[in-house]
Amino acid sequence: MSLVQWINFPPLGDDRGALVVLEAEKTIPFPVKRVYYLFGTKEGVARGFHAHKKLWQVAVCVTGKCRMVLDDGKTKEVVWLDKPTKGIALPPMIWHEMHDFSPDCVLLVLASEHYDENDYVRNYDDFLKSVK
């Protein structure tokens, strides 16, 4: 089974422009406790490089694009987040990295829990040990 779970957000626009709605427990498959966004990522900088023990997240580039690597310890998949109508689900224990941010990229992330550093697995060898 693919690691990649796209969530398509229906555009509700009209001739004035586009509108996308992200609703907790509807479009977003969990109660949202936290929203954050990455922007102004410098050229050549990659981010992420961690997995979460319990956290669920959905990520979407509302402007611009970036390349995401997903890894469950057995397989790696590479996808482009490049549309404001296309989100990706990040379940627990998926190692993820974001590369090749366009200068205009705004990566919006909705998370199921408040920030908790103890939920992070930041060491790749520890990640591999815990998914085996």
Please report, as ranges, the residues that interact with ligand TYD according to CB under 6 A: 34, 36, 47-48, 50, 115
CB 39 within 8 A of CB 105: yes
In whole angstroms, the minimum distance from the beta carbon of 81 to ligand TYD comes to 13
In whole angstroms, the minimum distance from the beta carbon of 3 to ligand TYD comes to 18
Which residue of this chain has its Cβ atom nearest to ligand TYD in the complex? Answer: 47
Q: Looking at beta carbons only, is 3 or 66 nearer to ligand TYD?
A: 66
In whole angstroms, the minimum distance from the beta carbon of 118 to ligand TYD comes to 12
The strands making up 120-121's β-sheet, listed across from edge to edge, are: 76-81, 66-71, 95-99, 47-52, 120-121
Catalytic residue among 50, 52, 96, 114: 50
How far apart are the C-alpha atoms of 44 and 6, rounded to whole Å?
Answer: 26
In the chain, the amino acid numbered 123 is N
Q: Looking at beta carbons only, is 3 or 107 nearer to ligand TYD?
A: 107
Answer yes or no: 99 catalytic.
no
Alpha-carbon Rg for the chain, nearest whole angstrom, is 15
